[in-house]
Amino acid sequence: MQMSQGWAKAWARPWNDDFPAVALRLERGNARFLRACTELVRELATPVLSPALLPSRTSLWTDAGYEVSDQLLLLEHDLRDIPAGTLGSDIAAGGFEPADELYQIDQVAFPVRWRLGRRGLEESIEATVRTVVHRVSDQEGTTGFSVAGVGLGQGYLQRLAVHPRAQGLGHGTALVRASLLWARRHGARAVLVNTQAENERARQLYERTGFRPVPGGLVVMAAAPD
């Protein structure tokens, strides 16, 4: 759903395919416009949740009646710290299709609250000018994937998911490394990634592969109940 009023614009969609919430993204506008959009979309589902925000960008949402719902870790990798290299033979680089492979892995790799859903996966692909999907496979098929992007010299690891049956085999490490190498080759000076504060396994993986926490992290905000 697109909402606009003059120059102000916002977008709303289901949070994912399983969790009954609305994701609201403000493209431009003030707190009054954001509050009006919130009232409109809360008729479809609740809670109404913001994107992941830097703490310095939350004041407008607070003024619109939002409060912190979730704390996320934000980590950064300085790409000057990685040696040159090539992708391992078990890593394939390409595009979004077949999308069902990515969707099915994402569904089982994350708890319901943090699944991306089909539209969320599409948005992760569309978020940057340059994007790549890396896949890792075994004899049964694709076991994991990563989505990486680069824009204006900044790299992003948009998504990393490994099927539970293949976790602990080094696939996540291989996908992270492939994403870092790709980002550097495409002009990124650093790569950012975020994960849930309680996801200790992901935090250890990222720190083991050279990421360092960014103070303050990110927050997801929720519209306060009426």
Is residue 85 over pLDDT 80? no
Residue 86 shares a structural domain with residue 138: yes
Residue 82 shares a structural domain with residue 152: yes
What's the confidence (pLDDT) of residue 225? 80
Global pTM value: 0.92
Displacement of CA 74 from its chain's centroid (Å): 11
Between 187 and 86, residue with greater pLDDT:
187
Residue with tokens 């708890």: 111
Residue 44 shares a structural domain with residue 60: yes
Average pLDDT, the chain: 92
Residue 115 shares a structural domain with residue 173: yes
Query: What's the domain count of the chain?
Result: 2
Residue 92 shares a structural domain with residue 32: no
Residue 89 shares a structural domain with residue 165: yes
3-state secondary structure of 105: helix
Residue 2, H or E segment: strand 2-5
Is residue 207 over pLDDT 90? yes
Residue 102 shares a structural domain with residue 206: yes
Where does residue 189 fall: left (phi above 0), alpha (psi -120 to 50 degrees), or beta otherwise? Answer: alpha
What's the confidence (pLDDT) of residue 139? 81
Residue 96 shares a structural domain with residue 60: no
Residue 13: give the domain boundaries: 2-70+218-223
Domain of residue 191, CATH code: 3.40.630.30
* Separation CA 102–CA 105 (nearest Å): 5
As a whole number, mean pLDDT of residues 72-86 equals: 82
Residue 88 shares a structural domain with residue 59: no
As a whole number, mean pLDDT of residues 121-147 equals: 92
What's the confidence (pLDDT) of residue 117? 93
Residue 34 shares a structural domain with residue 80: no
Query: Among 165, 148, 147, 179, which residue's Cα sits nearest to residue 109?
Result: 165
What's the confidence (pLDDT) of residue 84? 61
